Amino acid sequence: MFLGGVNLMYCILFFEQVSNLAFCREERVEKFQFIVLDSALLRSNSNYFLLKSMKIILGLAGEMASGKGTVAEYMAVKYNAKSWRFSTMLRDVLDRLSLEQSRDNMQNLSTILRQSFGEELLARVMAEDVKKAVDEVIIIDGVRRLADIKYLREIPQFKLAYLEADMQKRYERITKRGENSDDAKKTFEDFKKAHADESELQIRDLKNRADFLIDNNGSYEDLYGQVDEILGNNFELRNAVLPPPLDKGED
């Protein structure tokens, strides 16, 4: 039973071979958000769980090497976030075709797919994937164009963060990390020219549509602090205090 959407439910879950039985007591609190908890996770921890969380879907946008991957890794460690990337679909296709996973190949493939099947093809696939996901915190790494967020904006939990960093710093980062096969060979002039690519030009338009702006010209600590500030008021499950066991005879 939910009383006006403001109930917090303390659930004792017992697992049987065929089905799960849940007995709950309710207390009034300021807010309640329902989440799906994985039964394996419940079995491996305690019988008592405090359901106090809100699903978050955070899209990350920004020019090349602005720090999107770093933010995704940090959120995965601290907030147990699940990362989804538009580029994963493209890498899967390139692998299947035995083609190199270079930035040029991914950009060309993305253009071909969108021109053949519609600009919103990848966006539709991504939106459906994250809607079905049961993770509490989801990162969408690599939002690149306005079309990418058309369907995501229809999901109430979706927010967009735009990362900024100076071009020189981004160049140094991209040549060091070598994520794509051609990154380490790039000169600074090559890097500047790459910003004129069709896929890169649209990224800047996302800044004005972002819910949050993140400045990544400082230290890791500065970056992580901004991420914590964004998520701090929305994600409470990790720090929740489990309720004490019910006394025998208590309803």
- Report the pLDDT value the prediction gives residue 233, as an integer from 0 to 100: 59
Answer whether 59's CB lies under 8 Å from 158's CB.
Answer: yes
Considering 25-39, 97-111, 234-248, the range whose residues carry the highest mean pLDDT is 97-111
220, pLDDT greater than 60 = yes
- Mean per-residue pLDDT, 215-222: 96
Cα separations (Å) of 107 from 86, 90, 149, 152, 200? Answer: 11, 9, 18, 21, 9
> Which pLDDT band holds residue 54 (cuts at 50, 70, 90)?
low
88, pLDDT greater than 70 = yes
Answer whether 33's CB lies under 8 Å from 55's CB.
Answer: yes
214, pLDDT greater than 80 = yes
Q: Helical H runs in 80-163? A: 86-96, 103-117, 121-132
> Which pLDDT band holds residue 45 (cuts at 50, 70, 90)?
very low
Task: Estimate to the nearest angstrom the gap between the alpha carbon of 20 and the chain centroid.
Answer: 30
> Rounded to the nearest 5 degrees, what angle is found at the Cα of 198, between the Cα atoms of 193 and 203?
95
Architecture of domain 56-232: 3-Layer(aba) Sandwich (3.40)
pTM of the model: 0.66
How does DSSP classify residue 37?
-
Instruction: List, in sequence order, every residue forming a beta bridge with 139; answer none if it has no partner.
Output: 58, 83
- What's the longest Cα–Cα distance across the chain? 74
**What does pLDDT average to over the chain?**
76
**Domain ranges, ordered by start, for the chain:** 1-53+236-251, 56-232
